[in-house]
Structure 1
Amino acid sequence: MATARFPERKVDLAVSNYSAPVLGSPLCVNGTHWILYLLEECVENIWEYCSVVIGLISMLCFLLSTLPQVYEAYKTGKVEEAVSFGFLFFLFSGDVSSFAGCYLTSQLPIQVITVVFYIFTDVILISQFLYYKIKNMSGRKRPLLKWMCFTWCGAATLALLVLPKLILDTSTPLYSQTSASSKSVELTGFICGYVASVFYLCSRFLQLYKNFQRKSTEGTSYLLFALAMMGNGTYGLSVMAVLPALRGSKQTFLIKHLAWLIGSLGVLVLDFFITAQFIIYKKKKRISLKSSALLKVPEVEPLLCEEEELSVL
């Protein structure tokens, strides 16, 4: 596993039934064809099939999670007040570390492309944050700043289309390396996994502090965290789903996934606290709005009622 958001699909004969390419022999005889074609993974039983499908759902949740926040920031224009820059920075750092793990352990193409897409969405969020911060500080529209932002996002989009192909062409599979070299590279990839988990956890702590400091979650889209919770939850479930059909050591399998399980499930727990903040601060806002509405009620209403009674008499 080389990305903290998608289950491991690497060539590992100890924990997988995927066989290394051999000239003249099929990769997978009884596997699911569409999974073999898209993910290059041999899936021959219902447990592995469920693991892959749940993993794809997890990936989709993460791919969609940043879109609501981009729209919320565009609608309010006050992203620097609502979102902690540390949250965005550590999220970006976590994805870069996760990408390093993907590259060093020669993961599947879909994993590399996915983690590059995560970095791309992080760049968009950070660019949007800096744009509105500079714009709101100046107090007036800056056409040059707007065009610079569009140019930067265009360059990031171009890099998103070109970078995965370049990375996949220059990467070296683990089975083509020497035993000592592959172990060293794999160990470095696992270290990157632990570093990524730390970055993901730190990002949530900083956003929790930002919300607590403001006593509000206004300007932050809850769908960002709701979809992230679904992604992290389904990720953990996809890893556990494959255990009943695992042919190798379950303990070894869990140890190899431990860094990313800590990161995903730890972030899931912290997102429950952020959910609690959304509920508490929204309830307080409703109470304050009701109290302010009651204070604005004219005090002459009872007098008007008394005047109407006298006129009737």
Structure 2
Amino acid sequence: MGLDEVLLQGTLAMRDDRNMSFYCPNGSVWVWVGLGECAQDARDMASVSLGLLSIVCFMASLGPQCYKSYRTGNMDSALSVWFLLLWLAGDSCNLIGSFLANQLPLQCYTAVYYVMADLTTLAMYSYFKAKNSGFSNRLLLNAVGVLSLAGVSAFSLPVVSPQVDVVQQGFKGRSLLFVHEDSSSIKPFSTKEIIGFTVGSVSSLLYLSSRIPQIVTNFIRKSTEGVSYFLFALVILGNTTYGLSVLLKNPDRSRGEGEASYMVHHLPWLIGSLGTLFLDLVVSFSHLGTSWPTCRYSGGFTIVLSPDTVF
């Protein structure tokens, strides 16, 4: 164990100005205190800003689908249950892997929101599935409906991060006492990081496969009615900003981490976010491929009426 690990593991991450001057000199105070992350230059601040924007996008993506489901009442037929289950499985692995592999704090916060949103969406799906199947127990239906609303409310609340060891939170310090190594080499994985990397890799595979059931469902139905366009549009924006946030973060060169090592350690999460963009675009473009009725007027112009006018 190196000197830097001894110092870090013996220090509890009470994120205030006192230890900030030691671990993150010249860094942003609000980023350090609020997020437990060290941002000392424009590149780090851009990474943090994009990470926060990605959380906002994922938070906002749930609202249009809730409204669309309320208006159409066919969420159980519009969304594939396998899409939702694979999404939840991928987000759960993402959450576990992020903590085990010492990913960036914002990655961990975003992973928590992922799971909360998935559970809320599944509760809504179950509600409409039971309701449209003629389920007569209104008390249970109302309970599930209240659970869905509670999930939406909880999803909009900030995540309170526990004060734990800075190494376990993946904090990238800048202490001058850290030992410099060859930045071109790949920093070896610890046993815990290997497990986290493996779980993160499974998560990326689940993400990539989760979109396929929804694409098939849209193709079979020949319609996207009941599916919010803005759900996938905001998810695309969220995944893009999430991936860029990870890419822009400065490697911790004071601990011998170069660009190559940083990329390798974050590869599953980059694939899980940026790798799904093409499939999300396919789902989004399926809205444009829907056959829409037209109304012609004697004035010589045509108005296209979309069954998905309400996004």
1:84 to 74, 80, 83: 80
Aligned counterpart, 2:275: 266
- Distance, in Å, in 1 between the alignment partners of 2:230 and 2:71 is 15
Deviation at 1:168, TM superposition (A): 4.0
CA positional deviation for 1:145: 2.5
SS in 2 for 1:216: coil
Deviations 1:183-238 (A, max 9, x none): 11111111111111111111111111111111111110011000011011112222
What amino acid maps onto 2:216 in structure 1?
Y
d(CA) in 2 for partners of 1:189, 1:28: 26
Query: What's 2:302 paired with?
Result: none
After superposition, the C-alpha distances for 1:226-280 in whole angstroms (9 at most, x for unaligned) are 0011011112222333369967321111111111111111211111111221111
- CA offsets 1:102-155 (integer angstroms, 9 cap, x no match): 3324556665444233212211111111111111111x7642122331464488
Distance 1:174 1:244, change over 3 A: closer
Contact 2:82–2:210 (8 Å) recurs in 1: yes
1:63-74 correspondence to structure 2 within 5 Å: 63-74=59-70
Aligned to 1:198: 205
* Partner secondary structure for residue 285 of structure 1: coil
The 5 A counterparts of 1:221-232 are: 221-232=228-239
Conserved in 2, the CA contact under 8 Å of 1:92 and 1:123? yes
State whether structure 2 residue 143 is matched by structure 1 residue 148. yes
* One-letter amino acid matched to 2:200: G
Say which of 53, 66, 80 aligns to 2:49.
53
CA contact (8 A) 2:37 2:105 kept: no
Query: Any gaps of 5 or more consecutive residues in structure 2?
Result: 13-17, 170-188, 299-311
2:127 maps to 131
Contact 2:59 2:155 in 1 (8 A): no
- Within the alignment, does 1:218 sit opposite 2:225 as a pair? yes
Q: Which has the larger radius of gyration?
A: 1
- CA distance in structure 1 between the partners assigned to 2:155 and 2:68 by the alignment: 24
TM-score by length of 2: 0.73
RMSD: 3.5
Alpha-carbon spacing, 1:151–1:242, altered in 2? closer, same or farther (3 Å)? closer
**Count of residue pairs brought into register by the alignment:** 264
Point out the structure with the larger helix share: 1
Structure 1: stretches of 5+ with no match in the other structure:
1-12, 177-181, 295-313
Could you say if the C-alpha distance between residues 206 and 59 of structure 1 is closer, same or farther in structure 2, counting changes exceeding 3 Å? same
Equivalence for 1:10: none
Change (3 A) 1:67 1:183: same
Q: TM-score, normalised by structure 1?
A: 0.73
Asked if 1:251 corresponds to 2:246, the answer is: no
Against the structure 1 CA distance between its residues 78 and 155, is the aligned structure 2 distance closer, same or farther, given a 3 Å change threshold?
closer
- Aligned equivalents of 1:68 and 1:188: distance in 2? 36
Q: Which has the larger displacement, 183-192 or 145-154?
A: 145-154
Change (3 A) 1:108 1:49: closer
Alignment of 1:1-313 (within 5 A): 26-105=22-101, 111-138=107-134, 142-150=137-145, 152-153=147-148, 168=162, 174=167, 183-242=190-249, 248-281=257-290, 284-286=291-293, 289-290=294-295
Deviates more, 1:20-29 or 1:256-265: 20-29
CA pair 45-246 structure 1, distance change in 2 beyond 3 A: farther
